Amino acid sequence: MRRRTLTLPQRGCSLSPMNAISSRPLPAHPLALPNLLTYGRIAAVPVVVVLMYWQSILGGGLWLRWLALAIFILAGVSDILDGYFARTWGQQSSLGRMLDPIADKLLVSSCLLMLAAEETIRGWSLFAAVIILCREILVSGLREYLAELRVGVPVTRLAKWKTIGQMVAIGFLIAGDAGDRIVPVVTEIGITLLWLSALLTLYTGWDYMRAGLRYMVD
Dump pLDDT digits (tens) for 107-124.
999 999 999 999 999 999
CA dist 25 and 20 (Å) reads 12
Instruction: Look at residue 17 and tell me whether its pLDDT is greater than 50.
Output: no
The pLDDT value recorded for residue 115 is 96
The pLDDT value recorded for residue 87 is 80
The pLDDT value recorded for residue 172 is 97
* Domains within the chain, CATH numbers bracketed: 29-217 (1.20.120.1760)
CA dist 92 and 86 (Å) reads 5
DSSP-assigned letter for residue 89: T
Helices vs strands, H then E, count in the chain: 6, 2
The pLDDT value recorded for residue 21 is 41
What DSSP element (H or E) covers 115?
Answer: helix 94-117
CB 93 within 8 A of CB 35: yes
Dump pLDDT digits (tens) for 119-140.
999 999 999 999 999 988 888 7
Helix (H/G/I), strand (E/B), else coil: 4:
strand
